[in-house]
Structure 1
Amino acid sequence: MAQNRDGGNPFPDSGELDNPFQDPAVIQHRPSQQYATLDVYNPFENREPPPAYEPPAPAPAPLPPPSAPTVQSSRKLSPTEPKNYGSYSTQASAAAATAELIKKQEELNRKAEELDRRERELQHVGLGGTARQNNWPPLPSVCPVQPCFFQDISMEIPQEFQKTVSTMYYLWLCSTLALVLNFLACLARFCVDTSSGSGFGLSMLWLLLFTPCSFVCWYRPMYKAFRSDSSFNFFVFFFIFFVQDVFFVLQAIGIPGWGFSGWVFAIVAVGTNPAVAVLMLLVALLFTGIAVLGIVMLKRIHSLYRRTGASFQKAQQEFAAGVFSNPAVRTAAANAAAGAAENAFRAP
């Protein structure tokens, strides 16, 4: 409020005060006939009836979303399944690594179980338990000849090698069956042609020689090699079974006069007697399958041998330990040393 310059009454008259309702900003918003005020508005005056009810029009169907540039999986994720935030290659590599770890863990668990089982067996035998009785060959109790070996693939062989050892056992059985059929085929050939008597005699010799020798010379070393991870038995098996594979191939070829009903001998017999030739062809086919399977199994066992960490030096150590641990060898060496010492003292 401005003060009086003459020093009079500092409070002016009311007429001198500014009237706020005379402000142009307020005057221009005063009610006029163009605007209805709240005092003159009557809601029941000139009231029109509401329009009739009309059902709303159906909403248009939503358009399908545009196809994404990448293919999305239509499978709904479970609440506990994590969402896919990585690329396909990253997820594939992670899944492969996880599967490999799970596989290695399962192998370790199997090896641990196998070691526990063997340890329990050794403890049982060490505490005076009954020793395992031989069960092969499976002969009846009335037979005067008793079993010579103990064989239980499911108990003595580690689980990862059981299939290989079982296959080799069936291979030995098939080779024995082939030798029996070869003997019968050569016998039939000798019945229709007496000039083939040498082949018949050799077929009998091969049956009596190869059946036990193949089991003792290459099957048992292979069995003991996988049972105790023996490098020496692996080397024995590789050497003898390689020779056996050579004989398998010769049996499949069937050189006349060698006692093998192979392809050559069977084709020669076709012109003499077709029935005997058919039997010999079946034997030749069996010999061929055995030869192929023998080569495949030799390669497979060699690959398993290389993964076990065996070596020629380890085989030498096992051979030396086995020789010096043999009571007969120790007794013979002691007798030889005693004799040499006695001769040295008696010398003039």
Structure 2
Amino acid sequence: MSDFDSNPFADPDLNNPFKDPSVTQVTRNVPPGLDEYNPFSDSRTEHALAQAELLKRQEELERKAAELDRREREMQNLSQHGRKNNWPPLPGNFPVGPCFYQDFSVDIPVEFQKTVKIMYYLWMFHAVTLFLNIFGCLAWFCVDPTRGVDFGLSILWFLLFTPCSFVCWYRPLYGAFRSDSSFRFFVFFFVYICQFAVHVLQAAGFHNWGNCGWISSLTGLNKSIPVGIMMIIIAALFTASAVISLVMFKKVHGLYRTTGASFEKAQQEFATGVMSNKTVQTAAANAASSAATSAAQNAFKGNQM
């Protein structure tokens, strides 16, 4: 009777399902790392990354919204008080005032401001190089009296290329990005190709061309080593201008392709601009009036005959 009175469930091993041999065999063969696997850890990590990405996008949108709001306020302020020319920055008592208005943060979209600023600095770099070229040609003229033509032309190139390059290719580029003008983009590309050719010729430095390029520098080095070194430095600056100009030409052309500009739009803008010009309208009106008067006179003469 004692066997029947004993409790079969009192044995802890028998009452524990995890002590079953089949279960213990499986748990012994658990793949490495599986016991540390947490199915909720990956989802939490992804959720954190997604939340961080959303916060980043939200900050970027808020920054752009603040930039647009600031530009809108500045444009309203300018419309109320007028856009006063601020370039070149001249003192108030100077007899000649600024000729252009320039403000990258107001006129140029945010994504193009860096490119336009680099082109502005490139224009300044070339202007400084032309100014140093005058002193290089002067030093060359001091050691070689036959180089008076180069010294005179160096002054002419500085006085000619500095304002012309600003007006002929930099301002069209500034206006093209400001108003998304296809016509101004084409003006810039045409003039800038010519500007690049000028950079190459200046870097070459042919004799009697007024440039301290590589050919002139090597010639000046035979006359005087200090003068030759000075001319070599200027030749390197001309070369840097040519290289940077080529790189920026490709950069601007790539941005131009993303703006949706085209040759057809340039033609339309040119035709619209010509027809809206007051001088052209006056000339067309005068021509039409003259043609009508001439036709009326011819008709009157024909009736008399």
Identical residues among aligned pairs (%)? 52
The 1-side partners of 2:194 and 2:215 are apart by: 21
CA shift for structure 1 position 229:
0.6
Cα deviations by residue, 1:256-302 (Å, 9 ceiling, x for unpaired) = 11111011110111110111111101100111111110000000000
Q: How many residues of Structure 1 are paired with residues of Structure 2 in the alignment?
A: 270
2:111 pairs with one of 140, 143, 160: 160
Tell me the distance in 2 between the aligned counterparts of 1:289 and 1:107.
38
Select 2:44's aligned residue among 70, 73, 82: 82
- 1:278 aligns with one of 229, 236, 245: 229
Structure 2 partner of 1:213? 164
Q: Equivalents in 2 of 1:114, 1:230: separation in Å?
A: 22
Could you tell me which amino acid in structure 2 is paired with residue 183 of structure 1? I
Determine whether 1:172 maps to 2:134.
no
Whether the aligned pair in 1 keeps the contact of 2:71 and 2:105 (CA below 8 Å) is no
Q: Which has the greater radius of gyration?
A: 1
Match of 1:22 in 2: none
Alignment partners' CA distance in 2, 1:125 and 1:281: 47
Q: TM-score, structure 2 length as denominator? A: 0.78
Closer, same or farther: CA 108–312 of 1 in aligned 2, 3 Å: farther
Deviating beyond 2 angstroms after TM superposition, the runs of 4 or more aligned structure 1 residues are 65-69, 76-81, 98-110, 112-126
Instruction: Choose from 240, 250, 273 the match for 2:201.
Output: 250
Q: Partner amino acid for 1:264?
A: I
Equivalent residues in 2 for 1:197-208 (5 A)? 197-208=148-159
Residues 183 and 203 of structure 1 are in contact (CA less than 8 Å); yes or no, is this contact kept in structure 2?
yes
Instruction: Give the counterpart of 1:145 among 96, 99, 103.
Output: 96
Between the aligned partners of 1:125 and 1:176, the Cα distance in structure 2 is: 31
Does the 8 Å CA contact 2:74/2:106 hold for their aligned counterparts? no
Name the CA distance, whole Å, in 2 between partners of 1:178 and 1:322: 36
Q: Give the whole-Å Cα distance in 2 for the aligned partners of 1:321 and 1:104.
A: 41
Counterpart contact for 1:266–1:280, Cα < 8 Å: yes
Could you tell me how far 1:333 is from its partner in structure 2? 1.3
| Partner Cα distance (2:58, 2:287) in 1 | 53
More contact order relative to length (CA 8 Å, sep ≥ 6):
2
Q: Does 1:269 align with 2:220?
A: yes
Q: Contact 2:202–2:213 at 8 Å: present in 1 too?
A: yes
**TM-score, structure 1 as length reference:** 0.69
Distance in 2 separating the partners of 1:119 and 1:238: 30
Give the structure with the larger helix fraction: 2
Unaligned stretches of 5+ in structure 2? 4-29
Distance in 2 between residues matched to 1:342 and 1:247, nearest whole Å:
51
1:241-270 Cα deviation digits (max 9, x unpaired): 011011111111111111110111101111
- Deviation of the 1:323 alpha carbon: 1.1
One-letter identity of the residue aligned with 1:171 = L
* Superposed displacement of residue 308, structure 1: 0.6
Residue identity opposite 1:294 in structure 2: S
Q: How far apart, CA to CA, are the structure 1 residues paired with 2:62 and 2:196?
A: 35
> What SS does the corresponding residue of 1:162 show, helix, strand or coil?
helix
Q: In structure 2, what is the Cα distance between the partners aligned to 1:106 and 1:272?
A: 60
Change in CA separation of 1:279 and 1:77 when aligned onto 2, cut-off 3 Å? farther
Q: How many Å apart are 1:153 and its aligned residue?
A: 0.9
Structure 1 spans left out of the alignment, 5+ residues: 1-25, 30-64, 86-93
Output the aligned Cα RMSD.
3.4
CA distance in 1, matches of 2:73, 2:276: 24
Letter in 2 for 1:269: G
**Residue in 2 aligned with 1:53?**
none
Q: Which amino acid aligns with 1:82?
A: R
